[in-house]
Structures are given as structure tokens and as C-alpha cells.
Amino acid sequence: MHDEQILGYQPGNSLIHSLNGTTKLIFLLLVSISCMITYDTRFLLVICIFSLILLKVAHIKWKQISFIVKFVVIFALINLIAVFIFQPTYGQTLYHSKNILVNAGYFTLTSQELFYLLNLILKYICSVPLVLLFLLTTNPSQFASSLNSIGISYKISYAVALALRYIPNIQTSYWEISAAQQARGNELSKKATLSQKIRGTLNIVTPLIFSNLNKIDTISTAMELRRFGSKKKRTWYVTQSFNLADYLVILIALLSVIIVVILFKVNSGRFYNPFI
Amino acid sequence: MNKTSTSIRNVVAIGIGTAIYVILARFTSIPTGIPNTNIEIVYPFLVLLATIYGPKVGFSVGFIGHTLSDFLMYGQTWWSWVLATASLGLLVGAYGRYFLDLKNGIFNTKQIITFNIVQIITNVISWLIIAPVGDILIYSEPANKVFLQGISATIVNSISTLILGTILLKAYAGTKIKKGSLKKEY
């Protein structure tokens, strides 16, 4: 029926599954921040190819990620078109030069603009596989323990683990309430008018929110009875120790940050400019 | 209520609140017919949660919820918009902590009016200032594009909070028992 899966942990035994959660989190953060900062096309290309190879190494199948990839591609295209429509001259301001490819008044296409858009696409391709990799190969409890080990307070880490654990539950109760309301004649199809849709959604959302808000009190009482939060630190059942492979991966991540810093100096700025 | 039990309740409220946020973000946007402009129920929900549990929970649910739902839907996240959502939770939460008393079932007309003035101001701060300025600084996108996105987000989110948020807050206050509602019979 509603098998629109929400992305979550899929057990496996590849090299990437066996890495420590903390290692993967550090790698994801450092590499995606470097990709966010730099607009150096050469660096982005290397990371792109690298992250696509990593997906292969982790034995992730196309059908596991196809729906999200399609969603991302459509979104990225809309965003690119919007960037172009709103300021077709943005590329030439950035790269301080102008080579006209297609002359069409306001929408004059320059090779600089095209190059800027290419960089934007590369940025998407860089970070998306890394995030998918992390979400699909990391167990939520281990994710919490790895958040804790990079210095985030264990209460916040626990809150994140709690959220990841309850998302499937709340999703199920959403579909149940929705089915119950449809049985009572709640109109949510494409034919419904806007006000009908709003009222219909409210009919589902209100019981969903209120019944789950009541859970907060129950769960926090249960946790209080088990002395959660009485000490400054806690240990995690799923903690893994660091291996040689973990240190190597962290080293690669640090290397990418250093390369970005060097490129910043070489290019004297965020942008790699092949036009001058 | 003592300090540890409030902090536990905050942890749980952040966890469950984030889970609800992600589900609402994933399944309940209502298309208005204008492209890329949806009525989002998550923001009225975030406002409700922030007014009940305060600024810390509002900030954290906005931050973690927006990050997670972006990652789950798009595989990446826009930190400038995450920050905007988080500050919406923070500001409305701070207002709710000092000026509203939903837990005792009180949400009168005067509070409804001030609540809506405050939420419109915070929506302007979040979507018209924090999000576009962050987009320009972090992602260096063209200014007129991000400000247009900011304006449409401000309008849609203010209106949906005005209608849906007020309904949710009123309904929540209605489920709570008013202070002093029991009278001794003689």
C-alpha cells in the first residue's frame, strides 16, 4: 500500500557499514562543508567521482535510492532554471569576463553563466551521495553515540535518536488516521478545492499532533523513572572502537579541508576562474 | 516542577516534536496552485510546540527537524533556511514562555491578536532577513532570486500560521483544564 519508504538504516556488511559511526559523521561533515565552500570545479569533479564510487562500494542498489534521486534531480533543475531566469548575468559578474554563446536580449547566455550553473550541479552531485551513504549505512543508536562523541551533549544526541526511532511510528499513525478520515468522507484528492484540502488536512493533522504530544509526558515520565539525565555523562551500548580504517578515512576528510584552504589561496577566492 | 524533570521533558519534546515535524514536512504540504508555493502545516505546528515547550525546544525542533527532513527529502540541506526555521521556533518560543499560558487552557482574544502580530514579525525576520541573507553569504546565489523566495515564504507562512496556527493553539488550549475551573459546591 503506502510503501513510500522513508530513508533509514539498511543492515549490511560492506567496508562502509563496518566503519565507526563517528568516522562517517566526521567525513560527511568535513567533505560536505568543503564542497559547500569551494566553487573550484576541479575539486568538485574529483569529489563527485569519488562519492559515486563510494555508493558502489557500499553495495547500495538503485531501487533503494531511486525515488529520492528523482526528487533531487527535479528540484535541482527547477533551482538551476530559477537561478538563470533571475540573473542571467550573474556568471559574468563572478568571473569578470563575457563570452556570448546565444544572444537573446535579457536571456543572453554566456559561457560564464553556463560554467557557474555547471558548478552548482556538481555541488549537488557531490553532497547527495555522501548523505545517502551515511543515512543508509548508519544505525540510529550508533548515530546518536557518534553525535555524542563529537562533542554534542548526550541529551541532544538522545533526542535525535528518539526522533529517528519515532519517525516510522508516526508515519504509520499518519496513514491510519488518514485512512479513517477518508472512510468518513474526507476529501483530499486532486478534485478537492483549496479550502476542502485545508480542512481535510487539519482533520488528519490535529489528532496526529495531539495524540503524539500526549506521548511526550508518558515517555518523559518513563525516562525519569530510569534516572535519565541524572549524570553529566553516559555510555552507549553500541559504541565501537576506532580501527586503522577509521583513522585513514578521517585523514582523507582532513586532507580535503586542507586542499580547499590551499585552493582558496591559489584561486584568491572561492571561485576557480578559467576565463582570465 | 524541578529542573531535571523539565530537562527530560524537553529532550523528549525535541525528539517526538522532530519526528512529527519530519512526517508533516514530508506528507502535508498543500499546493496552492502557484508553483513552488505550498501551504506548510509544519510551521504552525512548530509555533504550537514552541509556545508550549519554550524557546530551547522551539529552536532545537526547528533546527533538527528541518535538517533531517531536508536530508530525507532532498539528500542535502540549506543551512540558511534551517537557521531561519530554528530562529522562528526560538523567537515564538520566547514569546510564548512569557506571554502565553496555554497549559492552563488560556488563549483569549487579546492573546490571539498579539500572538499573530508576533508571529508575523518573526516570519519576516526569518524568511525575509535570515534565509535570503544566508543564501547570499553561504551559497552566493543571485540576490533578487533569494529575496523573491523570501517574500513568498513570508507571505505564505504568515497566512498559514494566522489561520492554522491560531486554530491549533486554540484547540490545544481547549484540551487543557482551566485554572480555577472547579468550584466548591455548598
> What is the tens place of the pLDDT at every residue in A102-152?
887 778 888 888 888 888 888 878 878 888 888 788 887 888 888 888 888
Instruction: Assess if residue A200 is contained within a domain.
Output: yes
Sign of CA dihedral B40, B45, B48, B52: negative
Does the structure show a pLDDT above 70 at A5? no
Domain boundaries, chain B: 7-175
With vertex at residue B25, the alpha carbon angle to CA B22 and CA B28, rounded to the nearest 5 degrees, is 125
A245 in a structural domain: yes
Per-residue pLDDT, B169: 93
Is A146 within the bounds of a domain?
Answer: no
The verdict on a CB contact (< 8 Å) between B33 and A194 is yes
> Closest to B20 (Cβ–Cβ): which among A132, A159, A209?
A209
> Does any domain span residue A205?
yes
pLDDT tens digits, one per residue of A28-54: 888 988 888 888 888 899 998 988 898
Q: Among all residues of chain B, which has the CA nearest to that of A78?
A: B36
Residue A162 belongs to some domain of the structure? yes
**Which structural domain, as residue segments, surrounds residue A175?**
151-237
ipTM: 0.86
Give domain status of residue A193, yes or no.
yes
Helix axes A111-137, A41-57, angle to 10 degrees: 30
Pair (A216, A233) in one structural domain: yes
Among A60, A17, A9, which residue's Cα sits nearest to residue A245?
A17
A28 contacts A131 by C-beta, under 8 angstroms: yes
Q: Given an 8 Å threshold on Cβ–Cβ distance, is B76 in contact with A124?
A: yes
The alpha-carbon gap from A160 to the nearest alpha carbon of chain B, in Å, equals: 6
Whether residues A113 and A13 fall in one domain: yes
Does residue A14 lie in a domain region? yes
Mean pLDDT, chain B, integer: 87
Question: What average pLDDT does range A242-247 have in this prediction?
Answer: 88
pLDDT tens digit sequence for A199-211: 888 889 999 999 9
Q: Grid coordinates representing B55?
A: 524557546
For residue A144, tell me if it sits in a domain: no
d(CA B13, CA A215): 9
Find out whether A72 and B72 touch, Cβ atoms under 8 Å: no
**Residues contacting B89, CB < 8 A, separation 6+:** B46, B47, B49, B50, B55, B57, B58, B59, B60, B61, B62, B63
Is the CATH number 1.20.1560.10 carried by domain B7-175?
no
Report chain B residues whose CB lies below 8 A from the CB of A131.
Answer: 71, 75-76
**Would you give the DSSP letter of residue B34?**
S
- Shared domain check, A260 and A229: no
Report the 10 Å Cβ neighbour count for B53: 26
- pTM of the shown model: 0.79
C-alpha cell of residue A66 = 531511486
B95-146 pLDDT, tens digit each = 998 888 888 888 889 999 999 999 999 999 999 999 999 888 887 778 888 8
Residues A131 and A82 reside in one and the same domain: yes
Question: How many domains does one find in chain A?
Answer: 2
Q: Nearest CA to CA, how far is B14 from chain A (Å)?
A: 6
Residue B53 pLDDT grade (very low, low, confident, very high; cuts 50, 70, 90): very high
Between chains, do A131 and B76 touch, taking CB under 8 Å as contact? yes
A76 and A194 inside one domain = no
The DSSP bridge partners found for residue B39 are: B30
